[in-house]
Copies of this chain bind each other. A is one copy, B any other.
Amino acid sequence: MGRNAIVGQSGGPTCVINSSLAGVLQACQMRGAEHVYGMLHGIEGLLKGRVVDLGATLGSTLEIELLKRSPSSYLGSCRYKLPSYLEHPEVYENLFAILNRMDIGYFFYIGGNDSMDTICKLSDYAKQIGSNIRFVGVPKTIDNDLMGTDHTPGYGSAAKYIGVVMKELIRDATVYGTKYVTIVEVMGRNAGWLTAAAALAQGEDCEGVDLICLPEVPFDPEKFITKVETLQKCNSSIVVAVSEGVRLADGRYVCELADDVHSVDAFGHKSLTGTARYLSNFVARHLDTKTRSIELSTLQRCAAHVSSRTDVTEAYQVGGAAAKAAFEGHTGVMIGIRRISNDPYQSTTELRDIHDVANFEKKVPMEWINDYKTGMKKEFLTYARPLIQAELTPVYIDGLPRHIYLK
């Protein structure tokens, strides 16, 4: 049994992916790992032998505390797609040679769907060749689209950010009392969890957003115009939250209706952007109103200054639970979060077979969307509200939050 552990971060960053890293690191150290290594830029870096010894780079508890509050992936990330063993056996042989040379017994990968696919392939291969290295997935994605977990660490903070800025944008948009349509574009390719979080803005002190457009619902531009026109008869300022991934009934993305060039990433995902801009121009052409488009862009995944303490804490816990699972002999599993109760909110972690997680995608249940497909029912709010509770104040130094990063 290898005496060391290794951990990597993969896919898009979140505000709390580093809190999971802290959780893995401290739990592995406590359970007696001799070294806890970090892969630089995920498995892609590991294949090039690019690793750091985390016990050396994160030596103090103050550094660990700053790590929990630092956005982006401390170790760097990648979008490397592990090929299948049948196509490229040499990649697996190379990787296991590296792991064995480093005396690795425990392998952790913090990420979303694509990262769980990596854990799935590696743990299957390990069993096949009789390696006893244990592979455990740590869930992370702002998109909240992972199966096998009530929600994913990263979602709560992104949802809180969206709730906060929606409230601020709704106030701002009413300032002139004139006809105004603000269209806010939120991340989420196929699952509308983040866009749905715009519904959290509504309360005693906020009218809330007027319209929520999720990728789960086919988008009809004509109906959209009619709806906005009707809404504007009651309120001059209309705020719309729209997912970057909304599509027409024929499957085309709304943003593809604009003429911008779109690129494709390593997983074949199209770069989706410009949905709000397109719709803003579309409304301006059809209705007598000013319009504005706002893209929350990467701000929604890196706004660590307004993270959810519940999220930071759970991210740390799943990291620790992953180490516990691996040291207790589990492999080919992901740590899931199970919700015990809503009021008071309580959750625990559990082990999920990685085959039941990888390459699935969890969408917003249709029964949580209202009958008009224009907003969220209270079932969604009951689900999401506990995840944005409480704050983890940044360590402010000279007016700005202090971060930590690998130089």
Residues of A within 8 A of B (CB): 12-13, 40-41, 45, 70-73, 76-79, 160, 163-165, 167-169, 171-177, 200-201, 203, 205-206, 261, 263, 281, 290, 292, 294-295, 297-299, 301-306, 308, 385, 388-391, 393, 396, 398-405
In the complex, chain B residues whose CB is within 8 Å of the CB of A206: 403, 405
New A-B contacts (9) at CB < 8 Å, excluding given A169-B299, A294-B298:
A76-B174, A77-B176, A78-B177, A169-B302, A205-B403, A261-B281, A292-B297, A389-B399, A390-B396
CB distance from A323 to the nearest CB of B (A): 23
Q: A72's contact among B171, B263, B304, B403, by CB below 8 Å, is which?
A: B171
Nearest neighbor of A294 in chain B, beta-carbon distance? B297
Residues of B near A401 (CB, < 8 A) are 164, 167
Q: Contact between A305 and B306 (Cβ–Cβ < 8 Å)?
A: yes
- Output the least CB separation between A288 and chain B (Å): 13
Report chain B residues within 8 Å CB of A175.
Answer: 12-13, 72-73, 76-77
Chain B residues near A173 (CB, 8 Å)? 298
Contacts of A390 in B (CB 8 A): 396, 399
Q: Is the CB of A405 within 8 A of B172?
A: no
Which of chain B's residues have a CB closer than 8 A to the CB of A169?
298-299, 302
A163 to B172, CA, bound (A): 21
Contacts of A388 on B, CB cut-off 8 Å?
399-400
- Best-buried of A40, A45, A173, A391 by chain B (most CB within 10 Å): A391
Query: In the assembled complex, which residues on chain B have CB atoms less than 8 Å from the CB atom of A73?
Result: 175
> Bound complex: CA of A45 vs CA of B178, how far in Å?
12
With A41-B176, A76-B177, A176-B79 known as contacts, the answer to whether A399 contacts B71 (CB < 8 A) is no
Q: Report how far A175 CA is from B79 CA in the complex, Å.
A: 10
Q: Residue A385 contacts which of B160, B163, B205, B398 (CB distance < 8 angstroms)? A: B398
When A and B form their complex, which 3 residue pairs have the shortest distance between CB atoms, in order from nearest? A388-B399, A72-B171, A172-B302
Q: Are A400 and B164 within 8 A (Cβ)?
A: yes
Which B residues touch A167, using CB under 8 A?
400-401, 403
- Are B79 and A160 in touch, CB under 8 angstroms? no
Nearest B residue (CB) for A296: B299
Taking a contact as CB atoms closer than 8 A, the residue among B13, B295, B305, B400 that contacts A295 in the complex is B295
Instruction: Please report the C-alpha to C-alpha distance between residue A201 and residue B305 in the assembled complex, in whole angstroms.
Output: 14
Residue of A45, A305, A385 with most partner-chain B CB within 10 A: A305
7 inter-chain pairs at a CB distance below 8 angstroms, sorted by A residue, are A72-B175, A78-B177, A163-B400, A165-B303, A172-B298, A261-B281, A393-B393
